[in-house]
Amino acid sequence: MNQIITIGREFGSGGREFGRRLAEELGYEYYDKEIIDEISARTDLSVEYIHQIIENKPHNLLPITVGKSFTYVDHHTLNQLQKVYGEQMQVIRDMAEKSNCVIVGRCASYILKDQKPFRIFVHADMDSRVRRCMEHMDGSEGFTAKQMKRHIKQVDKARAKYFHFYTERKWGDRSNYDLCVNTTDVVIKDIVPVIAKLFKN
Amino acid sequence: MNQIITIGREFGSGGREFGRRLAEELGYEYYDKEIIDEISARTDLSVEYIHQIIENKPHNLLPITVGKSFTYVDHHTLNQLQKVYGEQMQVIRDMAEKSNCVIVGRCASYILKDQKPFRIFVHADMDSRVRRCMEHMDGSEGFTAKQMKRHIKQVDKARAKYFHFYTERKWGDRSNYDLCVNTTDVVIKDIVPVIAKLFKN
């Protein structure tokens, strides 16, 4: 069976860099935004639309109940969401079947649970994440540190809701991962070769 | 400055074995029960009494307020607790100053925070912890799996309260650690040499 490593990550923790370097170090395939490109190729939906659907909005699409007397569901949008999520499951399973790989985000740890992936969660304290985003994030030039902190919290809140929506588990809870790595004050390219040894014989 | 590694651990996760093997692998001093022996040597208190005071009972010693009108504190016991905790702080600081070391439990990650120890938390799922305890714990012969599960929960609850009492932080929360290692289905002696590489140049 292929070795599958999944990476969950707090925004700004350097989780994506961690995943990319880990894949390079091990010579594994690396999947991140490629998943959305592939869903787009398999459906008639644009990358932008899929991105919005699968990362930011599932919690807005839940049935709304007011005083237990009125329920509203936007069926079209809910259908789109299910279609995209179904396609995403298939894309991720196909990727995991093809070869050893590192997959970032997308509830891959849950989708592939029967394949027993090695599940890593990357996190860091808020100050370090703000610093990392101010230095590295595309389009961060216009942000103050306060605005960046708000942005980080918003992205993480969306990730947590997305994860919980599909898995009914708590995003970032250590019990859902094999290894939680705190990247506060850590140089990611220094730590990755050590973690990689977990997968080398 | 010495390299200090602290190990927090869920009961039955193999955290103590993890710490012991890590110390052996690195050639560091290892401190666990030795801390209580040293407190006993420095005070007139027995090992058993200290053990009870510092691991199991702090939450029972908090002021009791009934209807905001009546407060009761057992001053003698509270004083003993403060004396033991103060002594423990000093013992741990002395140990950290002497040489590189691995310290298991005792809020060492918090007590030594100015020395920036590398903070590891070891955990595992409940089934695996019950299995590990049934196989390895002294005196486990009389326990059924159900009783063992209850015992594990009790010990962890006491550890969480003890940790929170002194640190005002949440025990086991990943943000308080540099690395959280899930030992479910893991052979500890296989994983330790890899983790040890984090500390070798």
Task: Please tell me which of the candidates B174, B191, B197 has its beta carbon nearest to residue A180.
Answer: B174
Residues 106-135 of B with CB under 8 A from A: 121, 123, 125
Which residue type is seen at A143?
F
Under the banding of pLDDT at 50, 70 and 90, the label for residue A69 is: very low
Share of chain A above pLDDT 90, in %: 60
The token pair that represents A120 in the structure block: 């890593």
Average pLDDT estimate for A30-58: 83
Reading chain B (201 residues) residue by residue, the pLDDT tens digits are: 899 999 999 999 999 999 999 999 999 999 998 998 999 999 888 888 888 776 655 545 444 444 444 445 567 777 777 888 889 999 999 999 999 999 999 899 999 999 999 999 999 999 999 999 998 877 767 788 899 999 999 999 988 988 888 888 999 999 999 999 999 999 999 999 999 999 987
Q: Which helix (H) or strand (E) holds A165?
A: helix A145-167
CA-nearest residue of chain B to A191? Answer: B198
A-chain residue closest to B190, CA distance: A198
- Please check whether residue A180 touches B, CB under 8 A: yes
Tens digit of pLDDT for each residue in A149-184?
999 999 999 889 888 888 889 999 999 999 999 999
A3 CA to centre of own chain: 19
Question: Structure pTM?
Answer: 0.85
pLDDT at residue number A63: 45
The residues near B179 (Cβ < 8 Å, ≥ 6 apart) are A179, A180, A181, A182, B118, B119, B120, B121, B195, B198
Q: Check CB contact of B160 with chain A, cutoff 8 Å.
A: no
Nearest to A174 among B178, B180, B191 (CB): B180
Query: What pLDDT is stored for residue B67 in this prediction?
Result: 47
The residues that bridge with B103 in the sheet, in sequence order, are B6, B31
Q: Does B178 touch chain A (CB under 8 A)?
A: yes
Asked whether the beta carbons of residue B194 and residue A191 sit closer than 8 angstroms, the reply is no
A183-193: pLDDT as tens digits: 999 999 999 99
Strands A118-123 and A29-31: unpaired
Contact status, residue B78 vs residue B61, Cβ threshold 8 Å: yes
- pLDDT in the model for residue B61: 47
Distance CA B120, CA B165 (A): 20
Distance CA(A77)–CA(A67), nearest Å, equals 24
A-to-B residue pairs, Cβ atoms closer than 8 angstroms: 43
User: Over 90: is that where the pLDDT of A113 sits?
Assistant: yes
Residues A195, A198, B1: CA angle, nearest 5 degrees: 45
Reported residue count of chain B is 201
pLDDT in tens, A137-151: 777 677 888 999 999
Q: What ipTM was assigned to the predicted interfaces of this complex?
A: 0.82
Q: What angle, rounded to 10 degrees, do the helices at A33-42 and A75-98 form? A: 110
Test A194 with B191 for CB contact under 8 angstroms.
no
Separation in Å, CA of B169 to nearest CA in chain A: 14
Distance CA B7, CA B107 (A): 9
Residue B55: its pLDDT value, please?
63
What local confidence, expressed as pLDDT, does residue A56 receive?
Answer: 56
Q: How far apart are CA B121 and CA B144, in angstroms?
A: 27
Q: Nearest by CB to A182, from B177, B182, B184: name it.
A: B177
Q: Which of A117, A98, A153, A105 is nearest to A7 (CA)?
A: A105
| Beta strands at A118-123 and B118-123: parallel, antiparallel or unpaired | unpaired
Contact A198 B194 (CB under 8 A): yes
Residue B88 CA to residue B85 CA, distance in Å, equals: 5
Inter-axis angle of helices B126-136 and B145-167, nearest 10: 110
Name, in order, each residue with C-beta under 8 angstroms of A145's C-beta and a sequence gap of 6 or more.
Answer: A130, A134
**Is there a contact between B164 and B62 (Cβ–Cβ < 8 Å)?**
no
Q: Are A185 and A131 in contact (CB under 8 A)?
A: no
Which stretches of chain A are assigned E, i.e. beta strand? 4-9, 29-31, 64-66, 70-72, 101-104, 118-123, 179-182
Residue whose structure tokens are 């093809």: A98
Residues 6+ away with beta carbon under 8 Å from B195: B22, B120, B179, B181
Strand order in the sheet with A118-123: A29-31, A101-104, A4-9, A118-123, A179-182, B179-182, B118-123, B4-9, B101-104, B29-31
Cβ-Cβ contacts under 8 Å, A125 against chain B: 175
Integer Cα distance of A71 and A183 in angstroms: 43
